[in-house]
């Protein structure tokens, strides 16, 4: 997508000033509403109060662990669910892009399951996996899986026909076609899918941790709620937001690097 | 996009797939008992559960009442997300300055999962529809913003140039250039928004619902009633697909110039 | 290089084998419970004191946020024995053949209907004003049972009120922010609401004359295959209560740590109240309440039959389970019959 505006972006100074202003405005409005008494103070703490609680959570444990430890625990669950989604989803998408019969079989299933929220799988996760990482993994997997498949599929489907023809003329087997033609050509789409997938997977984490009662940022959130501590709840939300943002930023850098190497404008 | 002629055989394969799956489901559960009923319900049980909820009722209402309740919430959330998200996305796309100012707030809110807003939604808005719609809104407004924004960015630069040179006044610019140009991507955003509404519905109805498909799913999980959970999931899928199809019809009407 | 690694591996394996052979027969047992609850405290205390190891058991604990996921997890054999409320235990009996092998405590006082500070006095003076109100509670729980028993006590029907089901954390949020006036909670959430939001307990299961027991459970097939382990598990649990009742001060200190791990901080007065309002049962008492006269029902049978009827009326299952089918004192009897286990279970040191 090329830059449409004639003015090719703002000068850096202006962009920086406006961004900082926007950032400050967000907290200013929050602070104002909190201080105005529109909402009970207990249920809308001011930014400094939340930050104080956030820092406190990194130093002293709440429900057994510090904030970082909870995050690490959650990240482990996320990584396994996301990893599995990529491992199964990307190859499946490529195969669907190549074998039309597979596409015809899987697509209706996909369309059917698309509206089912990851959280709806929680009871089955408890039933099938009980304790351990399997349960949360299933929830995160159900959130992260679709974009992996869809983007790999789209990437494979829209590969330049002449590449495919060339490979076919050279007598490429199905396996080689997929691994040496479709996969490389689909990388930009796949990586874009990874970003969306990671985002959805990380978001499913709170739902995934509904059956967990040991550690995790989602668990911390619920316990903060049960303690009538809005600061803890908001600290948890901020932590989730920061890590989610970081994961996305990292993948965006990866996406840009890969696209740059191929001469595609990021 | 595959042309509609090529779609028909695919549709038949789709039907065939479902039949094969249904047969396998039946075989694995009722015939061979490979999958025990405690793990996943058999077709017979699921059918019984469907009859129960449709005729006698389950979770304080009957199926059509649950569906209506959920559709109402989805429409409210969808409307709120569209009314806020689309103009916001358009404005961000049209003005770099506005984008720079708003982006930080958007980036701060966006990664927080809708489910995580439940504690705050309850204490701020109580247990009524407003709290549920808020949860749905958080999920649905993101695709609306992003896609409207991308829609503006995708407008051919020379169209914008032309409008600028001709000195088109602001309102006419928005109405005749910006919106029609961005409309395809706006509709993509709306479709994603609607999908997000349905997936977040389950989370939203955790806040004191007395009816609704999410409420059915929650009650069925408390009763450990897998057959009813499957019925609930199926109902969500069917209703969601139906609404999406309706949206598709609206899309085709709104953009007759797009050969699909 | 490879040969050296193989030799090293062989040496280590041999070392382990020898150690294992000379060590005591330690068997693993998977125990489940929910954190920060009074009846789960004995599990914590017993582990801290090393009493499981004394009987040759190595406990592998799993915790669950609520009874329902805990029961669901038994389907995949993730745990062998554990504790839960009587309502989830009954659900477990119906769905997954879970046996109730003992009573954790009598928590009739600890499951109650609470009202916010503003409305509590009004409702207490005139309970019929509860008609038409909304009550938030967790469906299919002991809290649900207590609330509905209270309504029955006041001559109100479930249809006279609007019941909204949600998790305990959501109930706390709703009540503390004034978005719900009436809620069904269980301890220690009741104390959290009283201390941090000024709510008042207006009727408990005890007030309504409904006995709300907590249950010790075992998977039926595990119990069948490992009866000794189940008996040992019971013996350790009983000993822990003996100790806690004899050393309340120390017990409260451990309770504070245990509750904090589960994210609950309540005052010492409330913790003391847990001890004083929730009777526990030693071996003799367990046998007494579980004893079935020939052709008749035990006291525990009576409690669970009422609970089963309540769940059936809620539509959780079409038919309530027969108490005699899933409640068994067989394993308590095993503890009683074995002099070593009986002595162990009667120790309060």
Complex-level ipTM:
0.87
**Both tokens assigned to C125:** 């003076």
Interface check C96 vs B, CB under 8 A: yes
Interface check B39 vs C, CB under 8 A: yes
Domain ranges of chain C: 26-106+214-346, 111-204
The answer to the question of residue B116 being in a domain is yes
How confident is the prediction along chain B (260 residues), in pLDDT tens digits per residue?
Answer: 444 444 555 667 777 878 888 888 888 888 887 777 778 898 889 999 999 999 998 988 999 999 999 999 999 999 999 999 999 999 998 888 999 999 999 988 999 999 999 999 999 999 999 999 999 999 999 999 998 998 888 887 788 888 888 888 888 888 888 888 888 888 888 988 999 999 999 999 999 899 999 999 999 999 999 999 999 999 999 999 899 889 989 888 887 776 44
pLDDT digits (tens, 9 = 90+) for C130-151: 999 999 999 989 999 999 999 9
Q: Do C177 and B209 touch (CB under 8 A)?
A: no
Which residues from C are below 8 Å from B129, CB to CB?
none
Which residues from A are below 8 Å from B13, CB to CB?
101, 104-105
Residue B252 CA to residue A48 CA, distance in Å, equals 50
Q: Is residue A26 within 8 Å of B108, Cβ to Cβ?
A: yes
Q: Is residue B129 within 8 Å of B187, Cβ to Cβ?
A: no
The answer to the question of residue B98 being in a domain is yes
Of A43, A127, A219, the CB nearest to C177: A43
Q: Which domain holds residue B57?
A: 41-254
How many B×C Cβ pairs under 8 Å? 64
The total of structural domains in chain B comes to: 1
Interface check C65 vs A, CB under 8 A: yes
Q: Do domains C26-106+214-346 and C111-204 have the same CATH topology?
A: yes
Which CATH number characterizes residue B170's domain?
1.10.3720.10
CATH: 3.90.480.10, 1.10.3720.10, 3.30.830.10, 1.10.8.60. Which one for A45-261? 1.10.3720.10
Q: Do C176 and B208 touch (CB under 8 A)?
A: no
- Residue of A71, A117, A129 best to disrupt the B interface, most CBs of B under 10 A: A117
Question: How near does any CA of chain C get to the CA of A120, in Å?
Answer: 13
Query: CA dihedral in degrees (A230, A232, A236, A241; nearest 10)?
Result: 60
Interface check B118 vs C, CB under 8 A: yes
CATH placement of domain C111-204: 3.40.190.10
**Both tokens assigned to C123:** 């409702």
pLDDT band, residue C211 (cuts 50/70/90): very high
Give chain A's length: 266
The answer to whether domain C26-106+214-346 has CATH 3.10.105.10 is: no
Which residues from C are below 8 Å from B56, CB to CB?
none
In degrees rounded to 5, what are phi and psi of residue A44?
A: -145, 80
Strand C57-63 and strand C182-186: pairing? unpaired
Mean pLDDT of chain A: 88
pTM of the model: 0.89
Q: Do B223 and C140 touch (CB under 8 A)?
A: yes
Helix (H, G, I), strand (E, B) or coil at C33: strand
Strands (E), C144-247: 162-165, 182-186, 200-204, 213-219
pLDDT band, residue C16 (cuts 50/70/90): low
Number of neighbours of residue C93 by Cβ within 10 angstroms = 25
The pLDDT assigned to B20 comes to: 83
Interface check C90 vs A, CB under 8 A: no
User: CB-based burial of residue A79 (10 Å sphere; 0-12 exposed, 13-18 middle, 19+ buried)?
Assistant: middle
More confident residue, A146 or A7: A146
Which residues from A are below 8 Å from B178, CB to CB?
none
Minimal Cα distance from A209: which residue of C?
C65
Classify the C-alpha dihedral C81-C83-C86-C91 as positive or negative: negative
| Residue in the structure block whose two tokens are 């929220």 | A117
């Amino acid at each position: 997508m090329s830059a449409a505006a004639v003015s090719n972006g703002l000068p850096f100074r202006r962009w920086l000033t406006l961004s900082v202003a926007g950032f400050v405005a967000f907290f200013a409005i929050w602070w104002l509403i909190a201080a105005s008494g529109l909402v009970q103070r207990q249920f809308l703490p001011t930014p400094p109060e939340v930050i104080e609680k956030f820092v406190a959570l990194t130093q002293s444990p709440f429900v057994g662990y510090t904030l970082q430890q909870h995050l690490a625990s959650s990240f482990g669950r996320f990584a396994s669910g996301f990893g599995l989604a990529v491992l199964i989803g990307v190859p499946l998408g490529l195969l669907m892009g190549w074998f039309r019969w597979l596409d015809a079989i899987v697509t209706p299933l996909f369309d059917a399951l698309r509206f089912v929220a990851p959280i709806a799988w929680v009871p089955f996760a408890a039933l099938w996996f009980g304790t351990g990482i399997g349960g949360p993994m299933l929830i995160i997997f159900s959130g992260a899986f679709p974009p992996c498949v869809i983007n790999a599929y789209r990437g494979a489907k829209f590969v330049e026909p002449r590449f495919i023809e060339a490979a076919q003329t050279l007598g490429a087997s199905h396996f080689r076609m997929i691994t040496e033609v479709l996969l490389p050509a689909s990388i930009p789409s796949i990586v874009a899918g990874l970003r969306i997938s990671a985002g959805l997977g990380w978001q499913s984490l709170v739902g995934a941790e509904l059956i967990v009662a040991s550690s995790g940022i989602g668990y911390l959130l619920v316990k903060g709620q049960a303690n009538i501590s809005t600061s803890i709840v908001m600290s948890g939300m901020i932590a989730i937001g920061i890590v989610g943002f970081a994961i996305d930023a990292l993948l965006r850098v990866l996406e840009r690097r890969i696209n740059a190497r191929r001469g595609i404008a990021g | 996009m595959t042309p509609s002629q090529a779609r028909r055989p695919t549709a038949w394969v789709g039907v065939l797939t479902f039949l094969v799956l249904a047969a396998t489901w039946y075989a694995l559960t009722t015939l061979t008992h490979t999958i025990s009923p405690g793990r996943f319900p058999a077709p017979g049980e699921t059918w019984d559960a469907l009859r129960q909820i449709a005729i006698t009722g389950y979770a304080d209402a009957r199926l059509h009442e649950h569906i209506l309740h959920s559709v109402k919430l989805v429409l409210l959330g969808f409307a709120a997300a569209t009314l806020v998200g689309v103009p916001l996305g358009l404005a961000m796309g049209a003005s770099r300055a506005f984008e720079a100012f708003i982006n930080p707030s958007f980036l701060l809110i966006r990664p927080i999962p809708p489910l995580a807003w439940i504690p705050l939604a309850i204490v701020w808005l109580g247990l009524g529809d407003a709290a549920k719609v808020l949860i749905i809104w958080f999920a649905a407004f993101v695709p609306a913003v992003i896609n409207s924004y991308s829609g503006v960015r995708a407008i051919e630069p020379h169209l914008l140039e032309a409008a600028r040179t001709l000195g088109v006044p602001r309102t006419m610019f928005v109405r005749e250039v910006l919106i029609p140009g961005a409309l395809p991507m706006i509709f993509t955003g709306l479709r994603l928004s609607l999908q997000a509404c349905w997936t977040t519905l389950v989370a939203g109805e955790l806040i004191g619902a007395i009816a609704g498909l999410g409420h059915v799913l929650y009650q069925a999980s408390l009763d450990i009633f897998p057959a009813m959970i499957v019925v609930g999931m199926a109902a969500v899928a069917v209703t969601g697909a139906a609404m999406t199809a309706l949206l598709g019809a609206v899309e085709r009407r709104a953009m007759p110039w797009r050969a699909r | 290089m490879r040969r050296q690694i193989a030799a090293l591996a062989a040496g280590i394996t041999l070392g382990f084998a020898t150690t294992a052979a000379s060590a005591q027969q330690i068997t693993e047992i998977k125990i489940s419970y929910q954190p920060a609850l009074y009846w789960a405290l004995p599990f914590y205390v017993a582990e801290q004191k090393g009493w499981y190891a004394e009987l040759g058991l190595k406990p592998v604990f799993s915790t669950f946020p609520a009874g329902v996921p805990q029961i669901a997890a038994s389907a995949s054999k993730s745990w062998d024995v554990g504790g839960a409320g009587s309502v989830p235990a009954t659900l477990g009996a119906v769905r997954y053949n879970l046996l109730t092998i003992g009573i954790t405590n009598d928590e009739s006082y600890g499951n109650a209907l609470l009202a916010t500070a503003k409305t509590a006095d009004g409702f207490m003076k005139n309970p019929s004003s509860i008609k038409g109100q909304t009550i938030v509670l967790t469906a299919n729980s002991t809290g649900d049972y207590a609330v509905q028993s209270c309504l029955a006590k006041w001559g109100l029907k479930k249809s006279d009120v609007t019941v909204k089901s949600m998790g305990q954390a959501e109930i706390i949020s709703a009540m503390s922010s004034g978005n719900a006036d009436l809620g069904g909670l269980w301890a220690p959430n009741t104390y959290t609401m009283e201390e941090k939001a000024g709510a008042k307990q207006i009727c408990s299961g005890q007030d309504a004359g409904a006995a709300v027991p907590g249950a010790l459970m075992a998977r039926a097939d595990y119990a069948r295959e490992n009866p000794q382990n189940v008996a040992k598990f019971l013996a350790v649990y009983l000993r822990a209560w003996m100790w806690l009742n004899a050393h309340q001060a120390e017990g409260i200190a451990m309770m504070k740590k245990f509750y904090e791990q589960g994210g609950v901080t309540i005052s010492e007065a409330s913790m003391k109240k847990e001890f004083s309002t929730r009777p526990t049962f030693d071996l003799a008492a367990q046998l007494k309440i579980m004893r079935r006269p020939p052709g008749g029902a035990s006291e525990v049978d009576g409690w669970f039959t009422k609970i089963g009827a309540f769940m059936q009326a809620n539509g959780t299952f079409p038919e309530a389970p027969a108490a005699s089918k899933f409640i068994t004192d067989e394993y308590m009897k095993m503890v009683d019959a074995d002099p070593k286990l009986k002595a162990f279970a009667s120790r309060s040191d």
